[in-house]
Amino acid sequence: GENVEQHPSTLSVQEGDSAVIKCTYSDSASNYFPWYKQELGKRPQLIIDIRSNVGEKKDQRIAVTLNKTAKHFSLHITETQPEDSAVYFCAASRGTGTASKLTFGTGTRLQVTL
Amino acid sequence: EPEVTQTPSHQVTQMGQEVILRCVPISNHLYFYWYRQILGQKVEFLVSFYNNEISEKSEIFDDQFSVERPDGSNFTLKIRSTKLEDSAMYFCASRRPGAYEQYFGPGTRLTVT
């Protein structure tokens, strides 16, 4: 089955700096890669996603890149703010059919310091 | 904006007892999921459900677990005889047909003593 690895496990950046979180996946049939932000005690919140037919997607300060050949995808946060502090999870799935479970990475705790 | 809701927010039960966790998915969503998250760990898939059938299940989802859509709005997870290791946050998620995005509920924290 799918295995998603995520690095780093913790990341501390100064406010205004950029943060990059990287994930790899194993199942070549995976074609959907969402990123979730989870604040302490809260639900995972979808912040951005990418499908396998594109290589990059951007939404304001957040961008995601995908390298299908290498089975890598990354989350980039620019101009970080204290409210970006949270745990970020990457995930992979096979898409929209009945085989659509999300397989999550182990999470990255991002701390944005003043 | 519609959201997935879950009840209760926190459930404390004794080992060996049955628990039912409830979820109300977003109204036009037809694919439903249960995930769990042990404290400090990653989110793990348990089961997916579509058209009144289980679509996929993980190794965690053994005979002690069952799911049901008892009416047009609720989706439930039952654990027949809880164990200490079932203590976790249980998240329900839902997805509309043709879409990729899964939206998560606020979770039920299950504590087994």
Alpha-carbon span A87 to A97, nearest angstrom: 28
Contact A51 B100 (CB under 8 A): yes
Average pLDDT value for residue range A9-27: 97
Q: Considering chain B, what is the average pLDDT of its residues? A: 95
Alpha-carbon span A23 to B3, nearest angstrom: 28
Alpha-carbon span B80 to A28, nearest angstrom: 36
> Does the pLDDT value for residue A95 go beyond 90?
no
The DSSP symbol for B110 reads E
Confidence of residue B89 (pLDDT cuts 50, 70, 90): very high
> For residue A96, what pLDDT is reported?
80
Average pLDDT value for residue range A36-41: 93
Distances (CA, A) of B39 to A17, A41, A102, B43, B47: 29, 10, 19, 10, 19
> Does the pLDDT value for residue A3 go beyond 90?
yes
Average pLDDT value for residue range A38-47: 93
Alpha-carbon span A99 to B41, nearest angstrom: 24
Contact B56 A95 (CB under 8 A): no
> For residue B70, what pLDDT is reported?
87
- With pLDDT > 70 as the criterion, what percentage of chain B qualifies? 100
Alpha-carbon span A48 to B22, nearest angstrom: 27
pLDDT digits (tens, 9 = 90+) for B15-63: 999 999 999 999 999 999 999 999 989 999 999 999 999 999 999 999 9
- With pLDDT > 70 as the criterion, what percentage of chain A qualifies? 100
**∠ at Cα B22 (B78, B18), nearest 5°?**
30
Alpha-carbon span A53 to A42, nearest angstrom: 31
- With pLDDT > 90 as the criterion, what percentage of chain B qualifies? 92
Alpha-carbon span A49 to B30, nearest angstrom: 21
Query: Looking at CA atoms only, how far is residue B80 from chain A in angstroms?
Result: 24
Confidence of residue A10 (pLDDT cuts 50, 70, 90): very high
pLDDT digits (tens, 9 = 90+) for A80-90: 999 999 999 99
Nearest to A98 among B41, B43, B55 (CB): B55
Query: Looking at CA atoms only, how far is residue B64 from chain A in angstroms?
Result: 20
> For residue B6, what pLDDT is reported?
97
> For residue B1, what pLDDT is reported?
80
Q: Considering chain A, what is the average pLDDT of its residues? A: 95
Strand order in the sheet with B65-68: B5-7, B19-24, B75-79, B65-68
> Does the pLDDT value for residue A31 go beyond 90?
yes
A vs B, Cβ pairs < 8 A, gives 66
Nearest to A89 among B42, B101, B103 (CB): B42
Query: Looking at CA atoms only, how far is residue B92 from chain A in angstroms?
Result: 10
Q: Is B55 on the interface with A (CB under 8 A)?
A: yes
> For residue B91, what pLDDT is reported?
97
